[in-house]
Amino acid sequence: MKFHIQTWGCQMNDHDGEKLSGLLSAEGFEAVAEAGDADLVLLNTCSIREKAVHKVYSELGRLREEKQRRPLLVGVTGCLAQQEQAALFKRAPHIDFVLGTMALRQLPRLVAEAQAGRGRVIDTGEYPDNHLFPPQVARRRDTAKALVTIIEGCNHACTYCIVPTTRGTERSRPFADVVAEVRGLVEAGYREVELLGQNVNSYAGGCTFAELLARVAEVDGLEWLRFTTSHPMNFTRDLARELVTNPKVAPFLHLPLQSGSDRILKRMLREYTIDQYLERLGYLGEGRSRLALSTDFIVGFPGETDEDFEATMQVLETVQFDASFSFIYSPRPGTPSLRLKDDLPMPVKSERLARLQQRQAELTLASNRRFVGREIPVRIESRTATEQGWWLARSGEWKTIHLAAGPGRELPFGELVQARITQASPHFLGAELV
């Protein structure tokens, strides 16, 4: 049987896709690049925003038509599967099975039952050891950076967020297992890893998260260590110190803010004020100037006034984020924010988002221009050069680099090279090989 996995969403979903691919490969199934060549199509879904859900249902509609033309098994996993569960069968009756986020290892069983003709197979149960997935099973994609899950679930209760429903409460892997996995990845040729969790700062696998970073950084051969995502309430002085002093921890921090208004943050149940957020950034000390800082914003949250939005713009000016990810509030089923009155017209929300994103583009361009003329290490992330002759690379600050190496020059995939930055845009840095 040939299979194809389509993944939407975050890095956690990306890594879940690698786990699912490994489970199917261990059963003798063959991965193919196109859904049209597959006997089994698995949709590994996201439900954090309504737009992501629409994309999944659009693909399900296409697969329904394809299934009418030929034998085909269709499975749905990921956060939408955990959220909707059996209701998915009502909206898309051609789905053969539904697999929850906490039951990944049940995939071979569900596929076998679907192959045997059992209709509407489902498992969205919470298995107590689901976070202890054997890392050697994962079938990793051809990437320069390896993903490593250290904690799953979230104990916070943000009113807009579906994650506690779709991912459950926090479960941490033992630190020895994490270190062993990273050591194995380095032995396999990876030089960069990213530690994953809905809230990595809450890690409690026998040590603190700051201590885990220090232990992982001791692995010989590891060059860069990243992590995502952090909750400001759990961002400690020890973590900040490790981030700015450990040479293996990449100089990049993503610390979601969501709003610049204390009133909106309270309605979101984010558990901190703007002053507390800024205090945590202060933990970085002088090291703040040496790293890139990104954040998240939700625009148009129920009850957001002009004054609330202006407060967000003011924080944007105060902090001068190097990058941000911003979206219009997306109501999610079962979340407490659905009980809040959301009467702000969409044109107003769209205008606010456009204004925020325009200012962020200006700030990002200013941040990128500071790199022009510098020589920095960058990691090669493409196997070949583009038609324009440049190679894709990344800096430690997670800047996208378009690297010119000269005609016929081959660059080592996954390795660090020295680059001189020659130009800047809001989206990438142009560079030449030193």
pLDDT value of position 10: 92
pLDDT value of position 207: 98
For residue 218, is pLDDT > 90?
A: yes
Cα 64 to Cα 39, 60, 83, 248, 283, distances in angstroms: 14, 6, 21, 48, 53
pLDDT value of position 275: 98
pLDDT in tens, 55-71: 999 999 999 999 999 99
For residue 119, is pLDDT > 90?
A: no
Strand partners, 30: 2
- CATH number of 135-369: 2.40.30.20, 3.90.980.10, 2.40.30.10, 3.80.30.20? 3.80.30.20
CATH for 2-123? 3.40.50.12160
Residues with Cβ within 8 Å of residue 94, at least 6 apart in sequence: 60, 63, 64, 67, 74
CB-CB contact of 85 with 122 (8 Å): yes
For residue 290, is pLDDT > 90?
A: yes
What residue numbers does the annotated binding site cover?
10, 46, 79, 154, 158, 161
pLDDT value of position 406: 84
State pTM to two decimals. Answer: 0.95
For residue 408, is pLDDT > 90?
A: no
Task: Please name the residue that has the structure tokens 């779709």.
Answer: 166
- What's the gap between Cα 21 and its chain centre? 18
In angstroms, the CA 35 to CA 6 distance is 8
Retrieve residue 147's tokens.
Answer: 């993903």
Q: How confident is the model at residue 278 (pLDDT cuts 50, 70, 90)?
A: very high
Retrieve residue 421's tokens.
Answer: 């930055």
The arrangement of secondary structure in 375-433, i.e. its CATH architecture, is Beta Barrel (2.40)
Peptide bond into 312 cis (omega under 30): no
CA angle 7, 154, 47 (to 5 degrees): 35
Its sign, for the CA torsion 176, 178, 183, 187, is positive
What residue numbers does the annotated binding site for [4Fe-4S] cluster cover?
10, 46, 79, 154, 158, 161
Cα 130 to Cα 6, 90, 382, distances in angstroms: 22, 27, 33
pLDDT in tens, 319-338: 999 999 999 999 999 999 99
Listed by start position, the domains of the chain span: 2-123, 135-369, 375-433
- What are the percentages of helix, strand and coil residues in the chain, rounded to 5? 40, 20, 40
